[in-house]
Structure 1
Amino acid sequence: MFEICVESDFCAAHRLNNYRGACENLHGHNFKVEVVVRCKKLNQIYIGIDFKELKKYLKEILSTLDHRYLNEIDYFSKTNPTSEMIAKYIFETLKPHIKDCMLYSVSVYETSTSKVTYTED
């Protein structure tokens, strides 16, 4: 099994409804995102999934979040745009693009010391 990992980032604002603390106020983060894909097989040139291809898909998804007020995005209209739900959104949006491998996890860092990881397990 091979694990292929790429990272990217985006900046966005959000507020956590019903949080009852400072995070209920409008605030922003420089989010870091890490994606892990697992591949059992390699292609004819011994690549599981091309880094360039995976980064392209991730960049497209993050461009829908970058410099946005996350609470206004349809996906988050019935939930809070927590790091947990951001990771799930990225996972669900990225998954259809991964063909010959398995999207294993998406991690979202709010800070360098605080992250959430979403998997389907």
Structure 2
Amino acid sequence: MFEVTVQAGFSSGHYLRNYQGKCENPHGHNYRVLVTLVGAELDETGLLLDFKLLKHVLRPTVDYLDHNMINDLEPFTTLNPSAENLARYFFQKTADQLHQMTAGRVRVKDCTVYETDTSYAKYYEAL
């Protein structure tokens, strides 16, 4: 199996609903997102997926969240914008596009969202 990972970053605000503590108040993070792909076959160039193409796939989702209050954006108007839910959101957005682009040859292994340099959440789906 082959794996490739790219990283993207964005700055956004959020607050956690049904939470008691500082994070119930609006605050911001400089998020880092890592998306790892996996597949058994390389393309004719010898790549699982071009890093540039994966960054292009991530760009609309990053741009959607960047410099916004995440709680004001769908699906986070009702879904709590925790790092865990953001990781799943990136996973699903990326997986949908990759399935169409690669006819299932490449899939998302996992997505990791860092809220700080030392705190992150990861989302993956069991096979």
TM-score normalised by structure 1 residue count: 0.96
Which residue identity lines up with residue 11 of structure 1 in the other structure? S
Gaps of 5+ in 1: none
Which residue identity lines up with residue 46 of structure 2 in the other structure? Y
Distance in 1 between residues matched to 2:82 and 2:122, nearest whole Å: 12
1:115 aligns with 2:120: yes
Distance in 2 between residues matched to 1:54 and 1:39, nearest whole Å: 14
Which runs of at least 4 in structure 1 moved beyond 6 Å after TM superposition? none
Q: Give the superposition deviation at 1:81.
A: 0.3
What is the match of residue 97 of structure 1?
97
Q: Give the superposition deviation at 1:15.
A: 0.5
1:65 aligns with 2:70: no
Superposed CA deviations along residues 28-84 of structure 1, whole A, max 9, x for unmatched, are 000000000001001112111111100111112110000010001111122210000
> How many percent identity over aligned positions?
37
Q: In the comparison of the two structures, how many residue pairs are matched?
A: 121
Equivalent runs, 1:40-55 vs 2, <5 Å: 40-55=40-55
Gaps of 5+ in 2: none
Higher strand share: 1
Distance in 2 between residues matched to 1:94 and 1:43, nearest whole Å: 19
Distance in 2 between residues matched to 1:39 and 1:103, nearest whole Å: 9
